[in-house]
């Protein structure tokens, strides 16, 4: 059976079962005496064979094209040894009906002819609703579900509670420049950049918590890894030290990869998308920010900062440099202890070096940063000071500040971009193919 609607019509005969199958034409190969159709539905693929004669000379048969929806009746047989068909079976069709014809222009839309890359990319995005019908594009979406479920299962095993914080908020988390503002009944409000602050307010009542929610960022530059709307896997852990946070992140990634690879169906998608994938060895490489900029400067030729100069302490490690680094080192890196000045207001300082924070980014080969996390400033006065230093008015944050007043604790957490994680596992060039309908500057359709 291809799907639940496909029913067996009769008993198994000597040759095979008589079945009725619904699906769409994935691939069509008309030959002199026989027409081969690879039929698909959202669940799988089936080879169907129509003998010429009445069956393929009808008016309906003229309407056969990629994506035509059909119902087919026939006999299911195993394929002869050596022949190649999905699941080693084929349907010998003796009756069919076209349910929904399709124009035969899909090849022109989805096959790259001599076209400039950007024109082609735009065409793929305009036609995403059709592109999704392709084997690779749909495999990424199917794998995405496995990945998401693997996160949920891993958190359950580790006894984290799932919560669902609001998306409509009046506080920023990751800086004012990427806020999406809108009018909330006459008041200024934003689409959330991160659920972190809300997670921090519930560890006291619920213990370790996580959420998988949308986050929104008005990213005003176009890159391979920035979306305006993305799926954010975030967690917050109570009563921990920085080392515990690093160990936990490593364990989570390891569990998720194991779970995905343990599933036969998911392994099938991995085989289509990223056949060379291997689970990275544990532990991941740990590197402090200061070591990283030394490393960048030491390369031959040196990998410069955004202005083209050697990196100095306090410089951001920009996307290009980060990518070069992960490509050369070619294994996951836990990059830690970023300077206070280039990190968010809420990050706790390293008590042994007050210039830096107890922060971590996880960098993956081919993608770069997939996780950002830190220990949180848990001292009340220090937090009030941090608001001031960052020009943030503390009033809207009263509920966040209160956590430091009523039984504060050492705690920390992180956020992981699901699309970036998927881009890494499924070997996608950009996060845009890891989202059902991606959103970024200049694109809000389909």
Cis amide prior to 418 (ω within 30 degrees): no
- Give pairs for 379-387: CB < 8 Å, separation 24+: 379/404, 379/408, 380/404, 380/405, 380/408, 383/346, 386/345, 386/346, 387/345
Least Å distance between CB 131 and ligand 4AD? Answer: 20
Kindly write out the interface string for residues 248-287 of this chain, putting x where it contacts ligand 4AD by CB under 6 A and - elsewhere: ----------------------------------------
Taking contact as CB under 5 A, which single stretch among the options 248-256, 369-377, 422-430, 437-445 is the one that binds Mg ion? Answer: 369-377
| Nearer to ligand 4AD among residue 96 and residue 440 (C-beta) | 440
Report CA-CA distances (Å) from 347 to 256, 282, 400.
27, 26, 14
User: Is residue 431 a contact residue for ligand 4AD (CB under 6 A)?
Assistant: yes
Q: Select the binding partner of residue 160 from Mg ion, ligand 4AD, none (C-beta < 5 to 8 A, by kind).
A: none
Strands (E), 101-221: 161-162, 168-169, 180-184, 187-191, 209-216
- Taking a C-beta distance cutoff of 8 angstroms, is the pair 375, 412 a contact? yes
Choice between 64 and 414, CB closer to ligand 4AD: 414
For residue 348, the partner it binds in Mg ion, ligand 4AD, none, with Cβ less than 5 to 8 A by kind, is: none
424 binds, among Mg ion, ligand 4AD, none (CB under 5 to 8 A by kind): none
> Which regions of 43-186 does DSSP assign to beta strands (E)?
45-51, 69-78, 89-100, 161-162, 168-169, 180-184
- The secondary element (H helix, E strand) that includes residue 440 is none
| Residues 372-411, interacting with Mg ion (CB under 5 A) | 372
Report residue 29 as tokens: 């190969």
Q: What is the DSSP letter of 114?
A: S
What tokens does 397 get?
């944050």
CB-based burial, 152-182: b 16+ in 10 Å, e otherwise: bebbeeeebeebebeeebebbbbeeebbeee
Asked if 277 and 266 count as a contact pair (C-beta separation under 8 A), the reply is no
Binding range to ligand 4AD, per CB under 6 A, among 93-101, 149-157, 238-246, 407-415 = 407-415
Nearest residue (CB) to Mg ion, 41 versus 322? 322
**Could you give the string, one character per residue 363-382, with x where binding to ligand 4AD holds by CB under 6 A and - elsewhere?**
------xxxxx---------
**Considering the rule CB under 6 A, would residue 232 count as an interface residue with ligand 4AD?**
yes
Residue 292 near residue 335 (C-beta atoms within 8 A): yes
Among 289, 419, 434, 438, which residue sits at the site for ligand 4AD (rule: CB under 6 A)? 419
Q: Which of 259, 311, 420, 432 binds ligand 4AD (CB under 6 A)?
A: 420
Q: Which stretch binds ligand 4AD (CB under 6 A): 26-34, 86-94, 264-272, 412-420?
A: 412-420
Residues 269-328 close enough to bind Mg ion by CB under 5 A: none
Beta-carbon contacts of residue 136 (< 8 Å; ≥ 6 apart): 272, 273
User: Interface with ligand 4AD includes 227 (CB under 6 A)?
Assistant: yes
Span interacting with ligand 4AD, options 31-39, 51-59, 305-313, 417-425, rule CB under 6 A:
417-425
Q: List the single partner that 337 binds among Mg ion, ligand 4AD, none, CB under 5 to 8 Å by kind.
A: none
What Cα–Cα distance (Å) separates residue 422 from each residue in 142, 205, 256? 11, 32, 11
Q: How far is the CB of 221 from Mg ion (least distance, A)?
A: 15
User: What DSSP line would sit under 393-407, residue for residue?
Assistant: -SGGGHHHHGGGTSS
206 to 225: interface string for ligand 4AD, x by CB under 6 A: -----------x-x------
> Residue 232's binding partner, choosing from ligand 4AD, Mg ion, none, with beta-carbon cut-off 5 to 8 A by kind?
ligand 4AD
Chain-centre distance for alpha carbon 299: 32
Name the residue with the smallest CB distance to Mg ion: 372
Stretch that binds ligand 4AD, among 63-71, 129-137, 184-192, 414-422 (CB under 6 A): 414-422
Helices first, then strands: H and E counts in the chain: 14, 19
Would you call 60 exposed, middle or buried from its count of C-beta atoms within 10 A (0-12, 13-18, 19+)?
middle
Stretch that binds ligand 4AD, among 156-164, 183-191, 295-303, 416-424 (CB under 6 A): 416-424
What is the smallest separation between the CB atom of 417 and ligand 4AD, expressed in angstroms? 3
Pair 413, 199: CB distance under 8 Å: yes
Q: Between β-strands 353-357 and 285-288, what pairing exists: parallel, antiparallel or unpaired? A: unpaired
Tell me the residue nearest to ligand 4AD as measured from the CB. Answer: 372
Minimal distance, residue 179 CB to ligand 4AD, in Å: 12
Residues touching ligand 4AD, count (CB under 6 A): 24
User: Does residue 194 interact with ligand 4AD by CB under 6 A?
Assistant: yes
Interacting residues with Mg ion (CB under 5 A): 372
* Site for ligand 4AD, rule CB under 6 A: 173-174, 194, 196, 217, 219, 226-227, 230, 232, 234, 369-373, 413-417, 419-420, 431
């Amino acid at each position: 059976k291809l799907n639940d609607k496909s029913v067996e019509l009769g008993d198994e005969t000597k040759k095979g079962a008589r079945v009725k199958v619904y699906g769409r034409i994935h691939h069509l190969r008309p030959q002199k005496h026989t027409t081969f159709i690879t039929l698909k539905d959202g669940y799988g693929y089936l080879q169907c064979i129509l003998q010429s004669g009445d069956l393929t000379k009808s008016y309906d048969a003229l309407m056969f094209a990629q994506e035509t929806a059909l119902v087919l009746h026939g006999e299911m047989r195993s394929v002869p040894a050596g022949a190649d068909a999905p699941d080693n079976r084929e349907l010998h069709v003796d009756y069919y009906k076209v349910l929904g014809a399709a124009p035969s222009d899909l090849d022109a839309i989805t096959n790259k002819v001599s076209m400039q890359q950007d024109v082609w990319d735009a065409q793929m995005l305009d036609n995403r609703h059709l592109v999704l019908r392709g084997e690779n594009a749909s495999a990424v979406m199917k794998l995405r579900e496995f990945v998401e479920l693997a996160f949920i299962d891993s958190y359950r095993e580790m006894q984290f509670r799932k919560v669902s914080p609001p998306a409509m908020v009046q506080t920023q988390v990751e800086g004012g420049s990427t806020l999406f503002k809108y009018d909330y009944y006459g008041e200024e409000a934003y689409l959330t950049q991160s659920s972190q602050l809300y997670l921090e307010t519930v560890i006291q009542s619920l213990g370790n918590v996580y959420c998988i929610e949308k986050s929104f960022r008005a990213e005003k530059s176009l890159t391979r890894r920035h979306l305006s709307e993305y799926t954010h896997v975030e967690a917050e852990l109570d009563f921990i030290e920085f080392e515990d946070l690093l160990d936990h992140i490593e364990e989570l990634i390891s569990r998720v990869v194991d779970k995905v690879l343990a599933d036969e169906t998911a392994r099938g998608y991995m085989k289509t998308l990223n056949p060379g994938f291997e689970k990275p060895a544990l532990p991941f490489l740990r590197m402090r920010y200061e070591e990283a900029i030394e490393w960048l400067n030491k390369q031959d030729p040196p990998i410069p900062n955004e202005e083209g100069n050697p990196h100095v302490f306090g410089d951001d490690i920009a996307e290009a440099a980060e990518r070069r680094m992960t490509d050369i080192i070619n294994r996951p890196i836990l990059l830690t202890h970023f300077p206070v000045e280039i990190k968010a207001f809420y990050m706790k300082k390293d008590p042994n070096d007050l210039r830096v924070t107890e922060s971590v980014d996880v960098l993956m080969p081919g993608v770069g940063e997939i996780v950002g996390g830190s220990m949180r400033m848990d001292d009340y006065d220090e937090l009030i000071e941090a608001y001031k230093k960052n020009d943030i008015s503390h009033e809207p944050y009263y509920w966040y500040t209160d956590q430091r007043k009523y039984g504060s604790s050492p705690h920390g957490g992180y956020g992981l971009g699901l699309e970036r994680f998927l881009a890494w596992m499924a070997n996608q060039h950009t996060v845009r193919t890891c989202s059902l309908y991606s959103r970024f500057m200049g694109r809000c359709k389909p």
